[in-house]
Chain A
Amino acid sequence: NAGVTQTPKFQVLKTGQSMTLQCAQDMNHNSMYWYRQDPGMGLRLIYYSASEGTTDKGEVPNGYNVSRLNKREFSLRLESAAPSQTSVYFCASSERAGRADTQYFGPGTRLTVL
């Protein structure tokens, strides 16, 4: 089992460019999440998908869109990248979207917006 995989590992964008971060899990989990990690801020939830076919905003959704493509895959799109979106992005999954459910994290995507 690969667990949670993310592509790409690194990306540099210019302001205004768009890109999609890909995430896939092979644990048959129902719920998936996108976080961003910034120094001194911990992890903040951008969007989550409690189950296939549903998505909801998290704490910091502005400037992002998501697609739950199927049970395995959950992508994060930046339509017009801004320097404030320079961050490390983590995808995670859990069996359910409950507060007691352990989340499993991917290795992250380091994004720089110039």
Chain B
Amino acid sequence: AQSVTQPDIHITVSEGASLELRCNYSYGATPYLFWYVQSPGQGLQLLLKYFSGDTLVQGIKGFEAEFKRSQSSFNLRKPSVHWSDAAEYFCAVGAPSGTYKYIFGTGTRLKVLA
């Protein structure tokens, strides 16, 4: 069965530090991968997505993610974190048709220290 794992429930970084949020997926075929961000009290906003092609994907707000098929990973990165990046981040995989469309990870909550 398809699954998405975000091993870090909470991450704390200092403002200006680099960030990497981990995402591992279990999926037989080429996955469709997404990262969403949820600011406090808000809905989810798409940061970036990967379907095919270049394995390094650029998104909004200075985020990027790298697809590594050999590691079944799609980690999200940002070189310098801003206080406004404090939020919860969800990785998702597009499931095959006839199932549940998206499978979400359980989320990683990011705290940014001033």
- B-contacting residues of A (Cβ < 8 Å)? 4, 33, 40-45, 48, 58-59, 90, 92, 97-108
Q: Is B56 an interface residue (CB 8 A)?
A: no
CB neighbours (8 Å) of B67 from chain A are none
The residues of B that contact A103 with a CB separation of less than 8 Å are 44, 46, 101-102
Instruction: Check: B25 CB closer than 8 A to any chain A CB.
Output: no
What's the Cα separation between A104 and B42 when bound, in Å? 12
B34 near A102 with CB under 8 A, answer yes
Number of interface residues of B (CB under 8 A): 25
Known: A45-B102, A99-B32. A40 touches B9 (CB 8 A): yes
Is the beta-carbon distance between B43 and A42 smaller than 8 angstroms? Answer: no
Chain B positions within 8 Å of A, measured between CB atoms, are 4, 9, 32, 34, 36, 41-46, 49, 51, 90, 94-97, 100-102, 104-107
Flag if B101 contacts A107 (CB, 8 Å).
Answer: no
